[in-house]
Structure 1
């Protein structure tokens, strides 16, 4: 399922404003890649470009290529909806559908993709997805209760279950633990470590300790000043980035001198 992602000369715009400039990187399958950097440096913008969520914003566009196992996600005739089916996303704040039960939340993406599914297949998919999100044992006796009634950490794992139910090849996570307590954060981090055996995972985080704990490789983004585009400064193994970075900007950021 897992796939390699390549970014080639990627520039990202909001109308005429260039938000991100000249990103080149290759993200390995079955790995966790962390995007770090100060606020406003473009890391979440780059993340959203990986499943064409960036285009949801009016007049937003990209130049360059993003390849998924060699296929350009921005090629002529490529359907963004199909891209988002392959590249799932989990957002900063848990966002289960408030009027839906836990069960309905899990299969919502499947139904939104107009896939017909029998009750028995739906039951199997719900159990498999919730098990994959380490949530099944906690909710199996209350699947028909509202998803919004779960704790924050459980809601975020429910959103992960909803994302993996449509069988994507890549999982994007935009600060998935920023709204969670330390125990829930640990549960999500453990889950990320388990999921990387099946998925390519890219995570944006402001938490340096989290990046060092969960990722195999880390990309550091920075910005030269207000109105300037964000740039990829350094991309390497997480151990190298945190213990022996090549660029002084990287060293200053991970050591807490700025940001």
Structure 2
């Protein structure tokens, strides 16, 4: 199910402003790639280019390539809606649809994609997705209640269940634990470790310990100053990045000297 993404000379623009410049990166299938770096250096902007979510901002565009198993995500005739179905996203704050039940939240993406689904198949998909998000046993007796009735950590896992219900190839996570308590954070981290058996995962995090715990590879982004574009400074196996990075700025950031 999961797929590899090859990024080549990717530049992200908002109108005339170059936000991220010249990213070259290989995102391996069935692995967790962490993106770290100080605030405002383009990590989340770059993450959103992988499923074309940045295009919802007027005058945003990219140059360069992001190729998923041979298909350029920005190629002519490629439907951004289909890209977003294949490359799901979980945001910084849990965002279940508040008026929808837990079950309907899981099915929201499927219905948005106009997939007809029988009552029995829907029930099976809800159970499978919630099980995949390690949430089924906690909510199976209250699927009719609003998604907003859950705790913050449960809401984030519900959003993950909603994302995997449409059977994506890749999961993007933009600081998925930043609004959560330590126990909920640990639950999400454990879930990420399980999900990488089936999905390619890219996570943006400001938590260095989290990046070290959950990721296989880490990319460090930085920025030369206000108004300058963000750059991918280096990328390597997480163990190498946290023990012997190539660049002094990476070592300074990881050790807490700035950022």
| Coarse TM-score class (shorter-chain normalised) | over 0.9
Q: Does residue 154 of the first structure (1) align with residue 154 of the second (2)?
A: yes
Q: Which 5+ residue runs of structure 2 have no aligned equivalent?
A: none
CA deviation digits over 1:217-256, x for unaligned, max 9?
A: 0000000001110000010000011011010010000011
What is the SS of the residue equivalent to 1:83? helix
Which TM-score applies when normalising by structure 1? 1.00
Note the 1:1-259 alignment, pairs <5 A.
1-259=1-259
CA deviation digits over 1:53-102, x for unaligned, max 9?
A: 01110000000000001100000011000000000000000000000000
Which TM-score applies when normalising by structure 2? 1.00
What is the SS of the residue equivalent to 1:67? strand
What is the SS of the residue equivalent to 1:137? helix
How many pairs align?
Answer: 259
Q: Distance in 1 between matches of 2:237 and 2:178?
A: 23
Q: Which runs of 4+ in 1 moved over 3 A?
A: none
Q: Distance in 2 between matches of 1:212 and 1:13?
A: 30
Q: Which 5+ residue runs of structure 1 have no aligned equivalent?
A: none
- Displacement, 1:206? 0.4
Q: Distance in 2 between matches of 1:91 and 1:193?
A: 18
Q: Distance in 2 between matches of 1:67 and 1:21?
A: 17
